[in-house]
Structure 1
């Protein structure tokens, strides 16, 4: 057990801090004044929330280096991670509770104080932290970061929140939302209303029941499993399972390359450290493998990842290409993301990687017409299918984003269909199930290329995916040829996959 493990007790409090508080309780100070500061794990979670709010950072990029920089490990790191991610996922629910408890709109509360309150409410209602510890520690955080006045406000609101159970608060905020079912789900399941509506439409548009919307939203609010990809020819899933040790690893049910860990830091695995394996959602692995297994006509030697950053799919494609004697070109618009692709490809044999380059994917089809046998279009999107992993995306995206993104997605798919040769295959992938970003983009792109004399045919992505999955059992819509995965059904991000073969 590490020193960090020793410092945190099961209630989520540092043992040293608890002893210090015990000594302070012999003084005449009021309870709200007993905790003079906060522990490093709570401070780290607070700093993540401030970075997300203040600089549009992503928690999954901010938190890991912050934990390393502050030497937080073991239970401290796990506590900070759950506190930060859980608070971000349930921000909408907690804001509704704070508004009732404070008797004021959250828009009137200063952003730093609101973040502290959100952290406190998550400890009270979403974690196994005793009420006295949650309030005392959070008030200490407020005093340390904001000063005495705001800490008194935080103390008053959290004590009000702590007087009722999570179930009681959920009932109150549901009643306050009114009689509309989707409005109630929006507040209780912590998703903006437009996202709730869009996800329900996506369910129906993919042959599922609208009644599943509650289960889908709840799945978005559950912490995702740690999933590793064992890159073919570089690492074996059995090796990754063996390296997992106490954090038990099991082979995935959808992708033969996937290993699901019960916990722990994946960066500690030797195969991850040297790039033979990597952290990658099982759905993301599955759609990348689908491109490699889709049937094509003619040679199979040159592949393209059109939007390759940050490199997870490119590394999996390159590993498979290396086994088959093919080569991959990884194209990325942004230079810093291209460097991430190079890092992801570091263990792949050099002869499997033709180039990692920086360029606009929309021009590749014009610059290199018919030059590739297989093309991956992992298009930039709203990320509504990956809200488990990037919970802040739900609060940043707006319906106005769809117009620009869908236009970009359409142009990228058109470019890919021009870049692939007749007989070759294109995979169009998004981590969003939104119908505008999936089915409608594909229809628009196919109409456009058809007018330019490029003809295509759909490949049954369901059959390809079932052929990849161990045992071949994957619950999919039997009325369509594309594939839509769902967190509440498949335990993956909501990845969309369309496979197209160019015929002329």
Structure 2
């Protein structure tokens, strides 16, 4: 387990690269307040208009011509603050004369940003306080700057372990884990139910690690060897994956041309598992039922191009269908289709992937703000749609064909419970052992569970927490 986490931490993106090989270039340094202003502006957008940091931050860095170490610092400040928000709010509640939820939202974000610099970066305390106060002064005025100075100086009196002893509840284990690892308490409870009490702390800690950049070499278009030739390193499990140790993957020519992409290794493997699962009879038509934005469709389409089947990739949203078009070759069909009202006859396909909309609790490393947006009601509200989509997928595959039910969540209500509920009302479906199929692809892959379902974990595999069930229609 520890080795996987060390491996995952060695391929982090830290700088700029050219078309040939990742590497650092001489960069014009950006003023410190401009770097922090980028982080603050993203934090404000995330809270005020539900923006996604992973989409907004790269665009803002390009617009403000920020790269190299400055971009890396802005990225760390943004994501680090979002990950630690729950912990920082608990500390700020003790350092402020008013509750955090009563502080003006822009000022609150600036205090969180300053607290992250003080407690989880190597920035000297005096610099973290002074730059934060200067930013408060420019955003909120001199009066608020005095308040921020007083609060942040109190934060600076202790380091993070000392603060955690004070703010973490003593007689409430879930509460202690929630504050220590900055997750809502209900998510801690759900993840503990899924992974077990022995591993829950490791899982929560892994959620707060910055994920590495994993590339996918789309079959028939490029190879892992080509990516390694550009400076990437070999991956642990997927035969199509390579780890980028540093740099911007968008600067690689193979990525810009669509021959390679950025895709989590677990995401690659669940798509590959569908292609490798044993079926009976013909193998000519494949369907990706909820394909946007196109990552898994890109893998399936490339494999289909090599083997001969035709892939149809669909999504209910036109803008997501547009993204699919960019990810697949011209041989694949792309359509705007509501998966709960299919536009094809029953039994039309040999293999069907249904990657259902979910809470996204398996990707909290990449989308840390999701933990603060989701609620138990979010999970409950998605359940009927997940069941409807799985039913459509099973109806769309012919007898002898295979369905892969996939979700980027380990929450039991979104994984095995959905599959078991749908199958309890049918007598024409057989569960295949997804663990056997995956270990046939990657023999060193362990820790997926006892089958027939497979669950990836960040702390075990260095991947998102992808769930996979493989189902054969009888």
Decide which structure has the larger Cα Rg and report it. 1
- Measured in 2, the distance between the counterparts of 1:144 and 1:154 equals 12
After TM superposition, which residue ranges in structure 1, 4 or more long, deviate above 4 angstroms? none
Of 250, 273, 278, the residue aligned with 1:290 is: 273
Contact 2:448/2:456 (CA < 8 Å) preserved in 1? no
1:242 to 229, 241, 257: 229
Counterpart mapping for 1:89-488 below 5 A: 89-174=83-168, 177-203=169-195, 209-244=196-231, 249-345=232-328, 348=329, 350-351=330-331, 353=332, 355-364=333-342, 367-450=344-427, 455-469=428-442, 472-477=443-448, 479-488=450-459
Deviations 1:170-192 (A, max 9, x none): 11111xx2411111000110000
- RMSD over aligned CA atoms reads 1.3
Report if the CA contact (8 A) 1:462-1:476 is conserved. Answer: no
- The answer to whether the Cα contact below 8 Å between 1:243 and 1:270 also exists between their aligned partners in 2 is no
Q: Residue 447 of structure 2 contacts residue 460 of structure 2 at CA under 8 Å; is this kept in 1?
A: no
Please give the per-residue CA displacement for 1:7-28, whole angstroms capped at 9, x wherever unaligned. Answer: 26xxxxx4xxxxxxxxxxxxxx
Aligned length: 451
Separation of aligned partners in 1, 2:180 and 2:448: 29
Partner of 1:31: none
Q: Distance in 1 between matches of 2:160 and 2:448?
A: 36
Structure 1 residue 467, shift from structure 2 partner: 1.1
The alignment's TM-score, normalised by the length of structure 1, stands at: 0.88
Match of 1:32 in 2: none
Distance in 2 separating the partners of 1:103 and 1:323: 65
Bigger RCO of structures 1 and 2 (CA < 8 A, at least 6 apart): 2
TM-score (norm 2): 0.93
- Structure 2 residue 460 is matched with structure 1 residue 501: no
Equivalent-residue separation in structure 2 for 1:163 and 1:424 (angstroms): 63
Structure 1 residue runs of 5 or longer lacking an equivalent are 9-13, 15-37, 204-208
Cα deviation per residue 1:129-172 (whole Å; 9 max; x = unaligned)? 11111111111111111211112111111111111111111111
State the shift of 1:477 in Å: 5.0
Distance 1:2 1:44 in 2: 21
> CA separation in 1, counterparts of 2:90 and 2:350?
52
Alpha-carbon offset, residue 106 of structure 1: 0.8
Cα distance in 2 between the residues matched to 1:199 and 1:43:
34
Counterpart in 1 of 2:3?
A: none
Deviations 1:407-447 (A, max 9, x none): 11110000000000111100000000000000110011112
